[in-house]
């Protein structure tokens, strides 16, 4: 199963259907989770700032929690499908490995000096690192979220994070990591717009 199988003459398949579907479902679920999460945060801010109302979802605390605990099912169900495909179907191995610090350093310095070529269908080491990191941040966000939702029934999880109050901060940090990733991800799509259509159609013209 090569990443690029011939689709039509002169076109290569870059993103399998399952990756495209889970990507966009995840984008929707994540936006719901983050915006409603910001409204929940605003009810009792951990830090000396709040999120502006226009950037939040739910209208009030009760509405925000309703959104958060509804979208979590979509996020988790979709995430499980993606993780199963990534782990069992070999998507992670094919797309994200190998990954070494030396390669990350090489590609990062190349990127910062504008010498890094973007090849559609192939992730450079910095991209691989970011994708792996955001997946781990996603796992952390879900695990800490479950620990906040059920600090008694899932107290092993709560204890793992160091108790309820520390878990709140872990959940916030996981969210921050994901939001940071999204900002970089969107900035890169703006810089290299030809990466967007294949995420919808799955294919792109061959580059020579």
The residue ranges that bind another protein (CB under 8 A) are 27-28, 31-32, 35-36, 40-41, 43-44, 46, 57-63, 65-67, 69-70, 73, 150-153, 155, 163-165, 168
- Least distance (Å) from another protein to the CB of residue 68? 10
Contact 11, 202 (CB under 8 A): no
Residue 73 or 105: the one with the smaller Cβ distance to another protein is 73
First vs last C-alpha separation in the chain:
22
CB closer to another protein out of 19 and 72: 72
Nearest distance from C-beta of residue 82 to another protein, angstroms: 18
Cβ atoms < 10 Å from Cβ of 112: 10
* Cα–Cα dist 103/96, whole Å: 12
Task: Output the smallest distance, CB 144 to another protein, in A.
Answer: 13
Shortest reach from residue 187's CB to another protein, in Å: 18
Alpha carbon distance 125, 33 (integer Å): 29
**CB burial class (10 A; 0-12, 13-18, 19+) of residue 201?**
middle
- Closer residue to another protein in complex, CB, 67/82: 67
Judged by beta carbon, residue 35 or residue 125, the one nearer another protein is 35
Pinpoint the alpha helices (H) of 89-163: 91-96, 101-112, 125-149, 155-161
Instruction: Specify the residue, 77 or 112, whose C-beta has the smaller distance to another protein.
Output: 77
CB of 169 to another protein, least distance (A): 11
Report the C-alpha gap between 208 and 204 in whole angstroms: 12
State which residue, 151 or 180, has the beta carbon closest to another protein.
Answer: 151
- Shortest Cβ 24–another protein spacing (Å): 8
Question: Residue 18 in contact with residue 10, Cβ under 8 Å?
Answer: no
- State the DSSP H helix or E strand holding residue 26, giving kind and residue range, or none if neither: helix 17-43
* DSSP letter assigned to residue 122: -
């Amino acid at each position: 199963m090569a990443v690029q199988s011939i689709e039509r003459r002169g076109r290569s398949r870059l993103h399998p259907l399952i990756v495209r579907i889970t990507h966009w479902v995840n984008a929707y679920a994540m936006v719901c989770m983050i915006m409603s999460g910001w409204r929940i945060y605003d009810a009792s801010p951990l830090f000396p700032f709040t999120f502006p109302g226009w950037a939040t979802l739910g209208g009030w605390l009760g509405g925000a929690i309703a959104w958060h605990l509804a979208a979590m099912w979509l996020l988790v169900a979709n995430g499980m499908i993606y993780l199963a495909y990534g782990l069992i179907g070999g998507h992670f191995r094919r797309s994200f490995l190998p990954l070494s610090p030396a390669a990350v350093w090489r590609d990062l310095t190349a990127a910062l000096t504008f010498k890094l070529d973007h090849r559609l269908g192939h992730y450079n080491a910095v991209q691989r690192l970011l994708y792996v990191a955001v997946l781990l941040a996603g796992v952390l966000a879900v695990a800490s979220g479950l620990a906040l939702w059920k600090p008694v029934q899932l107290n092993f999880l709560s204890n793992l994070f160091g108790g309820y109050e520390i878990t709140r901060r872990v959940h916030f940090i996981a969210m921050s990591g994901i939001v940071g990733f999204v900002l970089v991800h969107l900035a890169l799509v703006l810089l290299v717009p030809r990466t967007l259509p294949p995420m919808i159609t799955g294919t792109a013209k061959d580059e020579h």
